[in-house]
Structure 1
Amino acid sequence: MSEAIPKDIIAEDTVLMGVEGALGRLHLNRPDALNSLDLDMVRKIAWEIEALESNPAVRAIALTGEGRALCAGGDIKMIWQTGRSAPEKALAFWAEEYRLNARISHMGKPWLAVMDGICMGGGVGLSVHGSHRVVTERTTFAMPETGIGYFPDVGGTWALARAPRRLGFWIGLTGASIGAADTIAAGLADAMVPSNALPALLSDLESGRSVNAALKAYAADPGPSVLKENAGLIETIFGLPDMAGIFAALRADGSDFATKTLSQLERKSPTSLVLTLHLLRAAETSTSLEMCLDREYAADAAILAGHDFYEGVRAAVIDKDHNPVWSPARLEEIDQPALLATIKPLPSLFPAAVSESARWKEK
């Protein structure tokens, strides 16, 4: 463990750091919560990144997780508990998390995220912006936020909007869980390495082997991708300008894949679907991850003032009845201009990285 971590930001050893040969290691160690991120973990990861990147012995950094997950998300209970009474506390968490996501995207050394097991929400933010993303046969990848009245954040709009043939639109809107092949097909991972080969992969990196060479040696065929097989349908339908058109086109198509997709969307928050589509379309024309994170941060403030996030988290996490009552309950009841008008740009999280002329503006 690092000697230089400030003691006032350590609550427990939920993040372990070490240097093994040429490899810096960050290991998420909160298995009972599927390594979900709280503020202490975000701060500790950020601190350890600086220590590892400045260490001349370290040639690459690997992120791994204890137990069944790399990381299943962020501190959603804290946000649910404080969002109405102390929204500044929730926004402060997101601000530090989003700055960490951006920091990972600018690493000067290879960042190897090992998405073995569950990787959702906040875990995606720690992974997809890095230089090397590994999945295994055990990977369950998802941005499931539309099912809790939220939207794909942690720079998810940037990553999903850049997936080929709008596969990321399908992933972000349906919130569906996907495996290794689909994650690679969407450009959200680079290689599939069997889980039993991970120790050998990490050992090679410790010996100083380059990440590219090690991945080439251990990568395996991930198998067929359902999303790739249906990419034509996804590209056509999810290229439509609004959710009403997407719903109508899925009904008209009538294929098994379209019918299943429609069923998935019908269970999500209508408000979240409209907001997510808007954010993804805006991300398509954005020029940096930071611009998308700033836009997501502004949308966070709007979400905290609404209804569906609190109802979605209640149904999924608090009461666990899995029966959210959305308001508005139907897509056609949403006043889209009024909804989008609630998103007010906040001061940039990255004033040095995003110039005023380049910073996003809502139309």
Structure 2
Amino acid sequence: MLRREGRAGYVVLNRPRAINALNHAMVRLLDRALTEWEDDGSVQTVVLTGAGERGLCAGGDIRSIHDDVRAGRPAAPAAFWYDEYRLNARVARFPKPYVAVMDGIVMGGGVGVSAHGGVRVVTERSRIAMPETGIGFVPDVGGTYLLTRTPGELGTHLALTGSPVAAGDALFCGLADHYMPSERLAAFTADLADMPAADAVRRHEAPAPGAELAAHREWIDHCYAADTVEEIVDRLYACGDRHAKETAETLLAKSPTALKVTLASLRRARALPDLEAVLTQEYRVSCAMLGAPDLPEGIRAQVVDKDRRPRWSPAELARVTDADVAHFFREADGGPLRFG
């Protein structure tokens, strides 16, 4: 849903029953709006919010991806991701203030349309995550770019576990810029129609809460510096911290293939020059995942049947070989891609 008011263009993700999960039509609509408003001198600020009370966006519409894969239509999710990742890159380089109100649940694709923006606001209700390993997938939408730029190994921890973070940790990890009580959001977004984004932020922001993850940096940095997922799990069990042991058990419930490919994606992303190059890598990996069994199975278990008992294949980390992981990084036919 789009509207113009004063100096601002407003985008409202409007699927509240699905926590505003992104579909292809929504991606295209947002891209068209940015195309129009980028060249419109009367639009000085773009504002992204989500309809309803539950969150900005719960991610991509993974049920439709499940249905397309089961029906033998991999081209449909591949086309969706291509346009989505192009949109993520566009948000990152948008020349005007792009204000993302990251209130409530912000996961997966919701991170992609918000955390690459120039002005990212979180509230006491914010819960931000890249939970893809729990559905047999890997962080995408530029998530591996964002998570490799967090302090120490916090991004590796968040990528592998899929754990959500609240406002303080989102700010500490560089996933957001400003804290604002949710009761001020209506006045804040209204003010953006009349004043520059920086002035509106100064009027309404509040001191940020503390970062809980900061207290766990010692064991997180040590354990996740390991070269393999198996060694990470071993270190988590061995370090003696209760939270680390719980984290090891969390990891062992995730897709073994997704864990190993995610770790490789993060390590490779660190060496890539920019967001666009990372998105290109993510696109190749995402499309390769369409041919693997864990993605439809993970979505089935979490979203379709909701039995929360995915049957991963392979079911053990030791059975996912280096050659298996390398398969997901092979270049597709047709030459290089670029999301710039």
The TM-score range, normalised by the shorter chain, is over 0.9
Structure 1 alignment gaps of length 5 or more: 1-15, 354-363
Structure 2 alignment gaps of length 5 or more: none
1:132 deviates by 1.0
1:256 deviates by 1.9
Partner of 2:321: 335
Partner of 2:182: 195
**Which deviates the most, 109-118 or 297-306?**
297-306
Equivalent position to 1:287, from 260, 273, 279: 273
Partner of 1:165: 152
| Cα distance per residue 1:71-94 (max 9 Å; x no partner) | 101121221112251211111111
* Structure 1 Cα separation of the partners of residues 328 and 114 of structure 2: 30
Asked if 1:139 is matched to 2:130, the reply is: no
* Structure 1 Cα separation of the partners of residues 106 and 117 of structure 2: 14
CA RMSD of aligned residues (A): 1.3
* Structure 2 Cα separation of the partners of residues 53 and 321 of structure 1: 45
What percentage of residue pairs aligned between the two structures are identical?
42
* Structure 2 Cα separation of the partners of residues 18 and 53 of structure 1: 15
Q: TM-score, normalised by structure 1?
A: 0.90
Equivalent positions of 1:1-363 (< 5 A) are: 16-67=1-52, 68-83=54-69, 85-208=72-195, 210-346=196-332, 347-350=335-338, 353=340
Which structure's relative contact order is higher, taking Cα pairs within 8 Å and 6+ residues apart?
Answer: 2
Asked whether the 8 Å contact 2:150–2:173 carries over to 1, the reply is yes
* Structure 1 Cα separation of the partners of residues 337 and 182 of structure 2: 37
Letter in 2 for 1:161: T
Letter in 2 for 1:35: N
SS state of the match for residue 81, structure 1?
Answer: helix
* Structure 1 Cα separation of the partners of residues 299 and 322 of structure 2: 23
* Structure 2 Cα separation of the partners of residues 229 and 326 of structure 1: 33
| Cα distance per residue 1:146-173 (max 9 Å; x no partner) | 0000010001011111111121111111
What count of residue pairs does the alignment treat as equivalent?
Answer: 336
| Cα distance per residue 1:210-246 (max 9 Å; x no partner) | 3223223322233222211112222222121111111
* Structure 1 Cα separation of the partners of residues 210 and 184 of structure 2: 21
SS state of the match for residue 45, structure 1?
Answer: helix
| Cα distance per residue 1:293-350 (max 9 Å; x no partner) | 1111111122111111111011001111000011111111211223323432234442
* Structure 1 Cα separation of the partners of residues 212 and 282 of structure 2: 29
* Structure 2 Cα separation of the partners of residues 338 and 311 of structure 1: 18
SS state of the match for residue 153, structure 2?
Answer: helix
